[in-house]
């Protein structure tokens, strides 16, 4: 017998659905709503780190992650200039580590890897904001979506990371091009 959408949603881990929604949003429209990108990034980062520790119940992890996401969104909205540089630094570092892990590569030095990605993110966010937001939000959205695929199937999805990133860049790049006309 075929399952309905509600049956599938009821049997699926709610946090995977929320992470999927945030990943898709960052992949497809992350550059257009900077504050939402910042909030989504904070949510996913806190969720990932608290899950890795594994000492809190899932509801607590989701609640604290949402709280930090909302707080980061508000900071991005009201303190945009400062937040822009901070987010460039933070997203660059986290994105490089996340993408490496989704490719199945563990960094030999997390601090060095974070700082290398952070420097890249800071420079690019400062000078090429629109296209950096397109690239970073596509890259990060793709990394989190492939992480979900890896968690649910147990297989590393390197081709999916590349394909999703390209789809995100093309989709958002087209939106950016149309808005500049």
Helix/strand/coil for 2? coil
- Tokens representing 142? 């793709």
Token pair in block for residue 20:
């999927």
In whole angstroms, give the CA distance from residue 149 to residue 162.
14
Q: Which residue, among 158, 147, 164, 162, has the nearest Cα to 30 in the 3D structure?
A: 164
63-74 tens-digit pLDDT = 898 899 999 989
Domain range list for the chain: 14-180
pLDDT of 118-139, one tens digit each? 998 888 877 887 887 888 888 8
> What whole-number distance in Å separates Cα of residue 92 and Cα of residue 114?
7
> Which residues, 6+ apart, have CB-to-CB distance to 39 below 8 Å?
69, 70, 72, 73, 76
pLDDT band at 1 (very low <50, low <70, confident <90, very high): very low
pTM (whole model) above 0.85: no
């Amino acid at each position: 017998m075929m399952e309905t959408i509600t049956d599938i949603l009821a049997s699926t881990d709610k946090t995977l659905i929320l992470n999927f929604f945030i990943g898709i949003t960052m992949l497809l429209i992350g550059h257009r709503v900077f504050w939402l990108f910042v909030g989504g990034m904070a949510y996913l980062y806190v969720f990932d780190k608290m899950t890795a520790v594994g000492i809190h119940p899932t509801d607590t992890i989701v609640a604290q992650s949402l709280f930090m996401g909302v707080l980061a969104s508000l900071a991005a909205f009201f303190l945009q200039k400062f937040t822009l540089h901070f987010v460039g630094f933070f997203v660059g570092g986290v994105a490089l580590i996340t993408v490496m892990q989704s490719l199945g590569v563990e960094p030999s030095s997390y601090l060095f890897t974070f700082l290398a990605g952070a420097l890249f993110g800071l420079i690019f966010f400062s000078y090429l904001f629109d296209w950096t937001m397109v690239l970073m939000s596509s890259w990060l959205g793709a990394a989190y979506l492939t992480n979900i695929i890896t968690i649910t199937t147990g297989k590393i999805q390197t081709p999916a990371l590349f394909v999703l990133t390209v789809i995100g860049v093309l989709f958002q790049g087209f939106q950016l091009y149309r808005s500049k006309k």
